[in-house]
Homo-oligomer: A and B are copies of this chain.
Amino acid sequence: MVDKTFYDRKDNVTLADVAKVTDSVLQREDKASLIIGDIATIKKATDKDICFFYDRKSKEAASGMNALACVTTADLAPLVPKNVVVLINDNPKLAYIKLNEYMYSLRKPSPGIDATAKIAKSAKIGKDCFIGANVVIGDNVEIDDNCRIEPNVVIEQGCKIGKRTRIAANASIAYAIIGSDCYIYSGARIGCDGFGFQLINGQHHRIEQLGRVIIGNDVEIGANACIDRGALDDTIIGDGCRIDNLVQIAHNDKLGCGCVIVAQVGIAGSCTLGNYVVCGGQVGLADHLNIGDGVQIAAQSGVMRDIEPGSVMMGSPCVPFKDFMRQVAFLQKNSTKK
């Protein structure tokens, strides 16, 4: 199913290869040399393809499976039709990721600096970087080895970018120090001025924003997302964070490690999030909040107070998840009474 116009594919991958690459146990040794056509979803897999079955919710689809082979758990295996070759794996989703990585690859541009890129003389570019057309790189910028800076990106003076970091098309970066192995998606805006001003005699007097954005290692920042720089102190995004498209992170926010911030979330200024905090889509946080480690906030919730570590919250204003469900049930029941 994967379109070879866009992706490269390894040919002649056998079921034995699949078993090896994914650490699965092939149930039919006589089928070991069969070559798989493609990785496919359960529904679309033909009798040449391999699919992955790890969610019991898909059991109906699984029962009608037409695949050549299927990687699944010992528990789910009995639900797979007899004619499909089964490979047993404790974690078929991880197996899927591994086979994906083995079999397909995104095309990467070759290292090199496009003739139209405008790079300040004082900037330092590491080894084997790709710098695309019309990229603009300001004074004293430092870009480490193996980075990929796509067309029409603007990186303003003084920024530092770690190894193997990718900055996608049309993004703009300012006042930022970005770690290694990061991926800034296209159109992301890193380091813009925070929304800071003071009303003086009827005029919103601008407060110059003098901080930075510090982004750790292995961070993703989604398409058209905005991370404002700090006012005086810095805005900080911890290692391993995943920030989705169209998210707003305001000045002086500090995110711990491994946070997952789903699309269109807005976090007002000076909030502190612990490690592995999860915000569902369109969540909003008021300013100056402390959100503990491992907190999970359901989509569209509005947060007006600090949250203790490990809490699961929902609603606007948000309450513990169970309380929210109780409120919903109460309202539905009582509003329809005569």
Task: List chain A positions with a Cβ less than 8 A from chain B.
Answer: 1-3, 5-7, 39-41, 44, 93-94, 96-97, 100-101, 104-107, 114, 116, 118, 132-134, 136, 140, 150-152, 154, 156-158, 168-172, 174-175, 183, 185-187, 189, 192-193, 195, 197-198, 200, 202-208, 210-212, 218, 220, 222-224, 226, 228, 232-233, 240, 242, 244-246, 248, 250, 258, 260, 262-264, 266, 268, 281-282, 284, 286, 299-300, 302, 316-317, 319, 323, 326-332, 334-336
Q: Looking across the interface, which residue of chain B has its beta carbon closest to that of A39? A: B232
Given the contacts A192-B222, A198-B93, A41 and B232 also touching, CB distance less than 8 Å = yes
Given the contacts A169-B154, A302-B299, A323-B335, A1 and B189 also touching, CB distance less than 8 Å = no
Instruction: List B contacts of A172 (CB < 8 A).
Output: 152, 168-170, 186-187
Q: In the bound complex, how far is the Cα of B225 from the Cα of A226, in angstroms?
A: 10
B323 touches A158 (CB 8 A): no
B187 touches A168 (CB 8 A): no
A203 touches B240 (CB 8 A): yes
A7 touches B192 (CB 8 A): no
Q: Looking across the interface, which residue of chain B has its beta carbon closest to that of A41? A: B233
A326 touches B336 (CB 8 A): yes
A233 shortest CB reach to chain B, Å: 5
Chain B CB within 10 A, most for which of A134, A193, A300: A300
A204 touches B240 (CB 8 A): yes
A114 shortest CB reach to chain B, Å: 8
Q: In the bound complex, how far is the Cα of B299 from the Cα of A264, in angstroms?
A: 14
Main secondary structure, interface of A, reads loop
A120 shortest CB reach to chain B, Å: 11
Interface residue from B6, B170, B260, B332 paired with A170 (Cβ < 8 Å): B170
A208 touches B248 (CB 8 A): no
Interface residue from B154, B168, B244 paired with A152 (Cβ < 8 Å): B154
Interface residue from B198, B245, B260 paired with A248 (Cβ < 8 Å): B245
Interface residue from B44, B185, B195, B260 paired with A204 (Cβ < 8 Å): B260
Q: Looking across the interface, which residue of chain B has its beta carbon closest to that of A262? A: B195
Q: In the bound complex, how far is the Cα of B236 from the Cα of A77, in angstroms?
A: 31
Given contacts A264-B266, A266-B281, 8 further A-B contacts (CB under 8 A): A2-B232, A41-B232, A94-B198, A104-B208, A151-B154, A187-B224, A246-B246, A327-B331
A5 touches B264 (CB 8 A): no
Instruction: List B contacts of A205 (CB < 8 A).
Output: 94, 97
Instruction: List B contacts of A192 (CB < 8 A).
Output: 168, 185-186, 222-223, 245
